[in-house]
Amino acid sequence: MYLRVIRNRGRKKNKHIVRMWIVIIGLIVIKIVTNICFKMDKVVNYKNIVAKKCEEVLLKMYKLALLDGYSIKKYENISRKDKSITTIINRNSNLYLYMEEENMKIQVVFSDPSYTYGHNDDTMLVSGKDDDSSKENEVDGSDISANKEAAETVIGDGLKDYTPPAVSKEGIRYTTEQLTDFSFLMSKLYVVPARAKVLEEELNGSEMLGKDMTLKQDNSKPQILVYHTHSQEGFVDSVKGKPETNIVGVGDYLCKLLSEEYGYNVIHCKEQFDIKDGVLDRSKAYTYAEQTITQILEDNPTIEVVIDLHRDGLKEGADKLVTTVDGKEVAKIMFFNGVSRSSASGDIDYLYNRYKKDNLAFSFQLKLAAMECYPEYTRKNYIDAYQYNQHLRPKSVLVEAGAQNNTLQEELNSMEVLAEILHRVIK
């Protein structure tokens, strides 16, 4: 009897040792996989936090397995039913992994930087999306046949009947005291999600206004580059297979305005960074874009302004981002910055940006120019935790023009206002 008790204790001890080794090996494998994935893709956010979260999940699994009598095998089956850990890690996106102990399920929250805003300017990050959430915001117009003809006709004949938008008489101006008050700026002009952290010295209105944003290069050589990290972003009446009716077509019109109306030398990069083998894949879009845009800038060192033109993605049923400028329905825009700093872990060293303050100053001056001339046209400037390839030039900016529920015509009208604002700041 005594020997049987000792034998049973030995077996239990061996089971604990085996389980412990399973967890240790799992942690090592996850660390290796995450390190490889994130070193290959600089755009992936929070590589250290992802690894940490994965470890936490495994440790919770181990703890519950030991204390509550659940086997490691059972948890593997549960996780496989939802998403395997390997698949989750290989989803190169802003990723948060956690375990709900109540129902013993591993769940994932994806938060794509391109789809982070709600129905108004003050909405913080929309979390709780599953890995198919981005599909909700993809509009290709393939099932909106009633709008196809309208979308094709608004492309129009260039600038034949174009007149610059008239400046509003109700423009907003701020005092020097207001613009040097960090609390005022944060409440009136900026939105910062919980995951990002901006320092007070980075948003000094006086310093940002003191930076000279005028172009030094004349138009004998390229001055401005426009591109689209997410080239497939469409609108309510976009036509599948016709990029001229999605964000690329909107970029075409902006380039046409800047070159023909304002006299700038503009390059428009239409390369698709978010399509791989014919399938929408945004996991490495910023990495691919960086490679191409870096080469363009090396070939054209005179380029001073770099614009990554997007459209936003809103929650289903959200109000349309539209206003009226000079009698036209216009999609509202938002200037977007990355500060390479998270609230959880501080500076993100592998996303270092020596031009961060210049980027912030550029979008700040654009925002003030817009409010002075077209006060309802812009949303609050958005500051997120990452880089978004804004390290390539001091005058780099990401612009979110409207959203998936805007029409192509509203987007084109919006570019007329944006071109005027840009001209006022860089002329």
- Domains annotated on the chain, with CATH: 2-110 (no CATH), 136-426 (3.40.630.40)
Task: For 246-281, write each residue's pLDDT tens digit.
Answer: 999 999 999 999 999 999 999 999 999 999 888 888
Task: For 296-344, write each residue's pLDDT tens digit.
Answer: 999 999 999 999 999 999 988 899 999 999 999 999 999 999 999 999 8
Confidence band, pLDDT 50/70/90 cuts, at residue 176: very high
Alpha-carbon Rg for the chain, nearest whole angstrom, is 25
3 state SS for the chain: CHHHHHHHHHHHHHHHHHHHHHHHHHHHHHHHHHHHHHHHCCCCCCHHHHHHHHHHHHHHHHHHHHHHCCCHHHHHHHHHHHCCHHHHHCCCCCEEEEEECCCCEEEEEECCCCCCCCCCCCCCCCCCECCCHHHHCCCCCCCCHHHHHHHHHCCCCCCCCCCCCCCCCCCCCCCHHHHCCHHHHHHHCEECCCCECCCHHHHCHHHHHHCCCCCCCCCCCCCEEEECCCCCCCCCCCCCCCHHHCHHHHHHHHHHHHHHHCCCCEEECCCCCCEECCEECCCCHHHHHHHHHHHHHHHCCCCCEEEEEEEECCCCCCCCCEEEECCEEEECEEEEEECCEECCCEECHHHCCCCHHHHHHHHHHHHHHHHHHCCCCECCEEEECCCCCHHHCCEEEEEEEEECCCCHHHHHHHHHHHHHHHHHHHC
Tokens 């007070």 found at? 200
Query: Between 164 and 58, whose confidence is greater?
Result: 164
Confidence band, pLDDT 50/70/90 cuts, at residue 24: confident
For 290, residues 6+ apart whose C-beta sits below 8 A from its C-beta are 42, 43, 389, 392
Question: What is the token pair recorded at 29?
Answer: 């494998």
What are the backbone angles phi and psi of residue 240, rounded to the nearest 5°? Answer: -60, 135
The answer to whether 293 touches 396, Cβ cutoff 8 Å, is no
Q: How far apart are CA 340 and CA 337, in angstroms?
A: 9
Task: For 56-85, write each residue's pLDDT tens digit.
Answer: 555 555 455 444 444 444 434 444 444 444
The pLDDT score that the predictor gives to residue 414 is 98
Question: What is the token pair recorded at 310?
Answer: 């997007």
Query: Between 284 and 136, whose confidence is greater?
Result: 284
Q: How far apart are CA 47 and CA 30, in angstroms?
A: 12
Least confident of 29-38, 139-148, 278-287: 139-148
* 12: pLDDT strictly greater than 80: no
The pLDDT score that the predictor gives to residue 307 is 98
* 381: pLDDT strictly greater than 60: yes
Q: How far is residue 296 from each of residues 232, 337, 387, 396, measured CA to CA in Å?
A: 21, 22, 19, 14
Tell me which residue of 90, 79, 80 sits closest to 34, measured CA to CA: 90
For 395, residues 6+ apart whose C-beta sits below 8 A from its C-beta are 213, 304, 305, 306, 358, 359, 362, 426
Task: For 121-146, write each residue's pLDDT tens digit.
Answer: 332 222 222 223 333 344 444 344 44
Confidence band, pLDDT 50/70/90 cuts, at residue 283: confident
Q: How far apart are CA 143 and CA 5, in angstroms?
A: 70
Mean pLDDT, the chain, rounded, equals 77
* 15: pLDDT strictly greater than 80: no
Q: How far is residue 412 from each of residues 3, 98, 132, 166, 244, measured CA to CA in Å?
A: 84, 42, 29, 16, 11
Contacts of range 162-165, beta carbons closer than 8 Å, 24 or more positions apart: 162/257, 162/261, 162/416, 164/261, 164/416, 164/420, 165/325, 165/326, 165/328, 165/374, 165/416, 165/417, 165/420
pTM of the model: 0.70
Least confident of 1-5, 21-25, 136-140, 260-264: 136-140
Q: How far apart are CA 142 and CA 397, in angstroms?
A: 31
Confidence band, pLDDT 50/70/90 cuts, at residue 9: low
The pLDDT score that the predictor gives to residue 21 is 79
The pLDDT score that the predictor gives to residue 282 is 87
Segment 24-45 shows an average pLDDT of 60
| CA 69 to chain CA centroid, nearest Å | 43
